[in-house]
C-alpha cells in the first residue's frame, strides 16, 4: 500500500494559517498588559500628588489668605471631594486630552506639554537613530573580527561608555566639539519645522551624548548574538552552497541576531528620558524634563501629574513598537513549541551537519534536502 503524501502547498498553508491565527491573540495579550501598566501608573501618579503636602490654595493666595478663601479655592480645584472621585474624574479627562490647569500659571497642562514634548521627541529620535547606526556598525564589525584587535577595541570602548553617565559625556562633548573645535553650538534649540539645518546643529550634541550608552549596549548584544548565528549550521551550509558572506550576513544572520539588540533599544527609551533631566539643563533645552523640574520646585501638582502620565505613555508606546518589531523579526518567538517540533528540527538540521562531498553535492544530497523541506 502506497502512502498518500499531502500537496506541498497544503503543508505550507498550515503553519501560515496557524501563525495568522496566533497573531491577534499575541497582540491582544500585549495590549492588555500595556493597558494594565498604564492604569497602574496613572493610579500611582495621581496617588503621589494626592499624598503630597502641597497646599495649592495657600500657595496661590499667599500668607494673608483666610480659611474661607482657602476653602473656596479648594472647592474650585475640586480638592474637597473624595480621592476616588478625584482620580476617576482626572483619568476620564486625561483620556480625552485634558490634563488640568496649572495652579500657578493657569495655563492648561496639555498646552505646556505640547510645547515641550516635541523637543524631547526630536532629540530622543535622533539619539535612537545614532545609537542604531553607531551600535549596529560597531557590533557587526566586532562580530566579523571575532577575537581580533578590532573586536577587543570595540569591547573596551563599549565597556567604557557603559560606565559613563550622560552628563559626563555631555560636558566632554561641549568642551571638545563646541569650545575647542567650535564645530557645533554648546546649547539652545531651534524647532525642526522652522529651520531643519539649524535644528540638526543644535540637536546633534545632546543626541550624541544620550545615544552613546545605548549604542554601547546595542553593539555588545549584536556582537554576541551575531557571532553565535554565524556559527550555526544554516550559515555554514549557505556558505558551502556558494552564497556570499555578505548575503549570509545581511540576508539571514543579521535578522536572526537582531532580537537582543532591538530589546536593548527599547529599554533605552526610559534611560533617554531619565537622562534628559540633566542633559536639558546642560544644553539649555526647553523640554519636558525642565517643565517637570520647574513644576516640582513650585509644587505644581497638575503639571507634575501630566508630565509623568505623558512620559509613561511614551515609554509604553515605545515598548509596543519594540514588541511589534520583534514579532516581525522572529514570529516563532511568539508561538511557543509545536507538537513534533523537536523531530522537525532534527530532520532539518541533520543534512546541514554533514560534511564532505555528500553534503555539498552528489546524488545522495537531493533526497536528504527534500526530506528536510
Question: With bands split at pLDDT 50, 70 and 90, how would you rate the model's confidence at 260?
Answer: confident
Question: With bands split at pLDDT 50, 70 and 90, how would you rate the model's confidence at 156?
Answer: very high
Taking CA atoms, 161 is separated from 226, 263, 331, in Å, by: 21, 19, 33
Whole-angstrom Cα distance, residue 174 to residue 280?
13
Taking CA atoms, 8 is separated from 48, 213, 366, in Å, by: 60, 48, 17
Contact residues for 28 (Cβ-Cβ < 8 A; gap 6+): none
Where b means 16+ CB within 10 Å and e means fewer, 223-245 reads bbbbbebbebeebbbbeeeeeee
Of 108-122, 169-183, 314-328, least confident by mean pLDDT is 314-328
Contact 150, 246 (CB under 8 A): no
- Can you read off the three cell numbers belonging to residue 290? 525642565
pLDDT of 45 reads: 82
Q: What is the pLDDT of residues 7-59, one digit of tens each?
A: 544 444 455 455 545 556 666 777 788 888 888 888 888 887 777 766 666 66
Q: What is the pLDDT of residues 160-182, one digit of tens each?
A: 988 888 888 999 999 999 999 98
pLDDT of 367 reads: 37
* % of the chain exceeding 70 in pLDDT: 77
- Give the burial class of 298: count Cβ atoms within 10 A of its Cβ; 0-12 exposed, 13-18 middle, 19 or more buried: middle
Contact residues for 360 (Cβ-Cβ < 8 A; gap 6+): 240, 241
Measure CA 198 to chain center: 26
Helices (H), the chain: 8-51, 56-61, 67-77, 83-95, 109-144, 149-163, 166-173, 196-230, 233-240, 245-248, 254-283, 288-298, 301-329, 341-353, 357-360, 365-372
C-beta pairs of 168-176 under 8 Å, 24+ apart in sequence: 169/208, 169/209, 169/212, 169/213, 170/205, 170/206, 170/209, 170/278, 170/279, 170/282, 170/283, 171/282, 173/205, 173/208, 173/209, 174/205, 174/282, 174/283
pLDDT of 176 reads: 92
Question: Looking at residues 314-342, what average pLDDT do you find?
Answer: 67
Q: Which residue has the cell 537622562?
A: 275
pLDDT of 26 reads: 66
Nearest to 215, CA basis, from 106, 305, 138, 293? 138
Question: Looking at residues 121-150, what average pLDDT do you find?
Answer: 91
Measure CA 249 to chain center: 24
pLDDT of 60 reads: 67
Q: What is the mean pLDDT of the chain?
A: 78
Nearest to 369, CA basis, from 330, 354, 356, 255? 354
Question: With bands split at pLDDT 50, 70 and 90, how would you rate the model's confidence at 206?
Answer: very high
Whole-angstrom Cα distance, residue 101 to residue 105?
8
Contact 244, 209 (CB under 8 A): no
Amino acid at each position: 500500500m502506497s502512502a498518500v503524501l499531502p500537496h506541498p502547498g497544503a503543508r505550507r498553508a498550515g503553519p501560515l494559517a496557524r501563525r495568522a491565527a496566533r497573531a491577534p491573540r499575541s497582540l491582544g495579550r500585549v495590549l492588555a498588559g500595556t493597558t494594565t501598566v498604564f492604569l497602574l501608573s496613572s493610579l500611582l501618579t495621581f496617588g503621589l500628588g494626592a499624598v503630597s503636602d502641597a497646599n495649592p490654595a495657600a500657595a496661590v493666595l499667599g500668607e494673608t489668605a483666610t480659611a474661607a478663601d482657602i476653602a473656596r479655592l479648594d472647592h474650585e480645584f475640586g480638592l474637597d471631594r473624595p480621592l476616588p472621585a478625584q482620580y476617576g474624574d482626572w483619568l476620564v479627562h486625561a483620556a480625552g486630552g485634558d490634563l488640568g490647569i496649572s495652579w500657578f500659571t493657569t495655563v492648561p497642562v496639555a498646552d505646556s506639554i505640547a510645547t515641550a514634548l516635541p523637543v524631547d521627541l526630536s532629540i530622543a529620535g535622533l539619539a535612537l537613530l545614532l545609537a542604531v547606526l553607531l551600535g549596529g556598525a560597531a557590533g557587526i564589525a566586532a562580530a566579523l573580527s571575532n577575537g581580533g584587535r578590532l573586536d577587543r577595541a570595540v569591547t573596551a570602548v563599549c565597556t567604557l561608555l557603559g560606565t559613563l553617565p550622560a552628563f559626563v559625556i555631555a560636558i566632554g562633548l561641549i568642551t571638545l566639539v563646541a569650545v575647542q573645535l567650535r564645530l557645533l553650538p554648546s546649547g539652545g534649540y531651534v524647532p525642526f519645522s522652522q529651520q531643519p539645518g539649524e535644528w540638526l546643529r543644535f540637536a546633534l550634541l545632546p543626541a550624541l551624548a544620550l545615544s552613546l550608552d545605548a549604542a554601547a549596549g546595542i553593539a555588545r548584544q549584536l556582537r554576541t548574538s551575531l557571532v553565535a548565528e554565524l556559527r550555526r549550521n544554516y550559515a555554514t551550509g549557505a556558505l558551502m552552497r556558494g552564497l556570499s558572506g555578505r548575503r549570509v550576513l545581511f540576508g539571514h544572520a543579521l535578522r536572526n541576531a537582531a532580537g537582543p539588540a532591538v530589546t536593548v533599544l527599547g529599554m533605552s527609551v526610559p534611560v533617554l528620558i531619565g537622562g534628559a533631566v540633566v542633559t536639558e539643563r546642560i544644553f539649555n533645552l526647553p523640554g519636558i524634563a525642565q517643565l517637570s523640574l520647574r513644576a516640582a520646585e513650585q509644587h505644581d501638582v497638575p503639571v507634575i501629574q501630566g508630565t509623568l502620565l505623558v512620559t509613561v505613555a511614551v515609554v509604553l508606546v515605545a515598548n509596543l513598537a519594540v514588541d511589534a518589531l520583534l514579532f516581525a523579526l522572529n514570529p516563532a518567538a511568539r508561538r511557543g513549541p509545536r507538537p513534533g517540533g523537536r523531530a522537525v528540527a532534527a530532520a532539518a538540521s541533520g543534512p546541514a551537519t554533514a560534511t564532505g562531498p555528500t553534503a555539498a553535492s552528489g546524488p545522495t544530497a537531493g533526497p536528504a534536502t527534500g526530506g528536510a523541506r
